[in-house]
């Protein structure tokens, strides 16, 4: 199958590209390399350096490559940046997504997979949250992703675009950017390996639902074959893990006794998150298989290798 992956030089997207190529698909990557990295690009994929916000440039890619399946992972992913510059966040995550959906419709793509986020939900009414939980995002990032979901639903209702929306928990693993603010495992790992004292925002009790990147990739591959109707699905383990627990697991994997530094909680962040992934289990037969202890050790090992002289 001919597959187009936006954000295919990024953390999750590059792993999806590798898996698609391994399965024998013909893969094209679109990435503007603003946060993606050239060394994450699989040389077996065709690459276009372009932004999803450039409709004309993106249209040329669709015309040249004629994708049958689109995996849309390109995004502005920083909650902090979305609060400081919501216009840019909306440009990438809403307008850029609409460009992808519009061209997918025009070119008759069989299916679109959209990488959304658990940040679309409000503070939990109950946990774990399923897909019918109230969606009232507390950040620009979550708001823009929810808006893009609405546009994709519109394309499904009006034009028949089949689609899968994945609401990701906190994804972590090799290749995650340790310079951003979303990849806490990567940030803690790199800082501890460098002998720095990582910062925990708040008291360390904030929880997230952590999913290793290979488990997310398996769901993306399953979505190519198993879904005939449009779906919205959570991808999570259904387990709350605190910031301090993550800090401690990374510290153990590094072999360090470094203590954290505490700072004020940042605006736009929910206190507790865990996701009910029963829908993905039912439709895709998907189950996460990598526990945080194993995934964090694999992530730390990756950064040790990357930082070796």
* DSSP structural state of residue 305: H
Give catalytic status of residue 48 as yes or no: no
Q: What angle do CA 284, 287, 290 make, to 5 degrees?
A: 145
Round to whole Å and give the CA distance between 147 and 125. 21
Residue with tokens 């952590």: 210
Round to whole Å and give the CA distance between 257 and 125. 37
Instruction: Note if the bond before 128 is cis, omega within 30 degrees.
Output: yes
Q: Could you tell me which of 164, 170, 119, 172 has the C-alpha nearest to residue 11?
A: 172
From the candidates 121, 141, 155, 172, give the one annotated as an active-site residue: 141
What backbone torsions phi and psi does residue 42 show, to the nearest 5 degrees? -80, 125
Positions annotated as catalytic residues are: 141
């Amino acid at each position: 199958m001919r597959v187009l992956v936006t954000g295919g030089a990024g953390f999750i997207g590059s792993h999806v590209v590798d898996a698609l190529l391994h399965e024998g698909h013909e893969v094209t990557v679109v990435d503007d390399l603003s946060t993606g990295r050239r060394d994450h690009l699989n040389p077996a994929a065709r690459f276009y350096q372009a932004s999803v916000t450039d409709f004309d440039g993106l249209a040329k890619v669709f015309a040249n490559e004629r994708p049958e399946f689109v995996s849309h992972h390109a995004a502005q992913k920083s909650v902090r940046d979305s609060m400081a510059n919501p216009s840019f966040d909306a440009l990438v995550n809403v307008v850029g997504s609409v460009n992808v959906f519009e061209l997918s419709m025009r070119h008759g793509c069989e299916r679109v997979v959209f990488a959304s986020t658990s940040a679309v939900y409000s503070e939990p009414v109950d946990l774990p949250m399923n897909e019918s939980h109230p969606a009232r995002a507390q950040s620009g990032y979550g708001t823009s992703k929810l808006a893009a979901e609405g546009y994709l639903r519109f394309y499904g209702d009006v034009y028949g675009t089949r689609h899968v929306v994945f609401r990701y928990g906190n994804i972590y693993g090799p290749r995650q950017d340790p310079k951003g603010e979303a990849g806490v495992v990567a940030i803690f790992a790199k800082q501890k390996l460098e002998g720095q004292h990582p910062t925990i925002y708040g008291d360390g009790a904030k929880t997230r639902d952590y999913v290793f990147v290979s488990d997310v990739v398996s769901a993306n591959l399953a979505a190519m074959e198993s879904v005939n109707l449009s779906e919205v699905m959570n991808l999570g383990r259904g387990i709350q893990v605190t910031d301090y627990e993550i800090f401690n697991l990374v510290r153990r994997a590094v072999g360090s006794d470094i203590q954290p530094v505490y700072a004020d909680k940042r605006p736009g962040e929910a206190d507790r998150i865990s996701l009910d992934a029963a829908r993905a289990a039912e439709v895709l037969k998907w189950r996460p298989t990598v526990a945080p202890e194993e995934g964090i050790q694999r992530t730390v090992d990756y950064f040790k290798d990357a930082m070796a002289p």
